[in-house]
Structure 1
Amino acid sequence: MIEKILPPWVASAETFGDPPGVMLFPEEEAVVARAADRRRREFTTARYCARQAMARLGLPPVPILPGEHRAPGWPDGVVGSITHCDGYRAAAVSLEALTVGIDAEPHEPLPDGVLGVVALPEEREELARLGDQVHWERLLFSAKESVYKAWFPLAGRWLGFEEAHVTLAPSGTFTARLLVPGPLVDGRELTGFDGRWLVADGLVITAIALPGV
């Protein structure tokens, strides 16, 4: 499903459950040795998806350990992103992209009070004009998660919800305008991202893939 919103130069893998018998590398096992069952299953299946996606690029399986701000650590030359929510895990990787960010959420309203934290006043006004065929507030949250995941490997620092303005289009695309100085990409300051979204099977999925230069 997620491959529908990713370019052909990004490999992906997804699953709607936790396959039995998935083994972690010892280094990964140490990360979740004391984790709750839910966290362990999310971590394990996400690594399973990541290695499936990497295999589609002809890459061997390797440990994928969380680094700064829990961002997954990819092998040299690989960029990627991982997401998981109830009933869904996915990974996307590329040898050609500068960065990739994906996110999946249940297609349902945000909990009370969350929209005020996530959305800028202008974004809330824009959401109100989009109609009710999609839970747009959840989609906005997912898009901002994808923005952060695409931003962090390039900038190496946190990006708050209020530091990017996301505009959603009913056509299945979105744009993110950075409200803080961005990192230099090929000698130019990064000012934003373009992404795509999909609603299917009770999920909202968003993706950003910035091509290499």
Structure 2
Amino acid sequence: MAAEAAAGRAAGTTAAGRPADGLMPHLLPEDVEVAEAFADPPHAELFPQEAEAVARAVDKRRREYTTVRMCARTALGRLGIPPVPILRGPKGEPRWPAGIVGSMTHCDGYRAAAVARDDRVASLGVDAEPNQPLPDGVLETVTRPEERPHLARLAAAHPATCWDRLLFSAKESVYKTWFPLTGRWLGFEECVVVPDPDDGTFTATLTVPGPRVAGREITRFTGRWRTWNGLVATAIAVTG
């Protein structure tokens, strides 16, 4: 699948194969391989099983589905994993090859995938969104009451970042990290996210019992965030 190389070239790559610029690679440790794309290559291909899964989808859905899987196979290739279908599990989660953890995201003008070996990273969650305010009425759905005053203070002090959208993205990354460890749903109200505007990090404190990793219960996830080129991205990597 020659088109997969476009995912690495989209933002330029270093000699080691890591993107020299871009959005998501800055947020994850070296044990994680990331590939991202800012357009949909016209000749990207799907495996037959994948094509069947989106056969009735609208064109936009098919394109983002195809490109994000191109990114995933590019990132997997950097771990020495040959191209394989990446299908969805019963709850919509991506099904990765044995021994691999990963996460995918897409929004208008951006697709990305992050993968790692499970003996180095226990779980991953990544999300990207437009750096634009949430639609009317959504903030109350995705936030807890104690989060909203902090968002208002951040918006007043740092208006270039849409903090409501960043919080939404962080909770998406939390869920994508949580689900592979638990196999259970996590509601927006079941964690409290606090972004730090100075060092590009956020904490997500769970309000429900957390998963156990390497014999310890996780009660809080720590992630990183970045705004770049009209986008906001968040990422979490849980190491053992």
Which range, TM-score by smaller chain?
over 0.9
Which is worse superposed, 59-68 or 77-86? 59-68
- Structure 2 Cα separation of the partners of residues 188 and 107 of structure 1: 35
Look up the equivalent residue of 1:18 and give its one-letter code.
D
- Which one of the candidate residues 113, 135, 156 is aligned to 2:183? 156
For structure 1, the residue ranges without an aligned partner over 5 or more in a row are none
- Structure 2 Cα separation of the partners of residues 19 and 192 of structure 1: 38
Corresponding residue SS for 1:12: strand
For structure 2, the residue ranges without an aligned partner over 5 or more in a row are 1-21
Look up the equivalent residue of 1:90 and give its one-letter code.
A
What is the TM-score normalised by the length of structure 1? 0.97
| 1:48 positional shift | 0.2
Partner of 1:192: 220
The CA deviation string for residues 142-181 of structure 1, in whole angstroms up to 9 with x for no partner, is 0000000000000101100000001100120001101001
Q: How many residue pairs are counted as aligned between the two chains? A: 212
After superposing on structure 2, the runs of 4+ consecutive aligned residues of structure 1 that deviate more than 6 Å are: none
Look up the equivalent residue of 1:172 and give its one-letter code.
G
The question of 1:201 aligning with 2:229 is answered yes
- Which one of the candidate residues 121, 137, 140 is aligned to 2:167? 140
- Which one of the candidate residues 79, 90, 100 is aligned to 1:78? 100
Identity rate of aligned residues, in percent?
Answer: 62
- Structure 2 Cα separation of the partners of residues 118 and 52 of structure 1: 33
- The two structures, once aligned, show a CA RMSD in angstroms of 0.8
More contact order relative to length (CA 8 Å, sep ≥ 6): 1
| 1:133 positional shift | 2.8
The CA deviation string for residues 38-66 of structure 1, in whole angstroms up to 9 with x for no partner, is 11111100100000011111111100001
Corresponding residue SS for 2:91: helix
What is the TM-score normalised by the length of structure 2? 0.87
The question of 1:107 aligning with 2:131 is answered yes
The question of 1:19 aligning with 2:47 is answered no
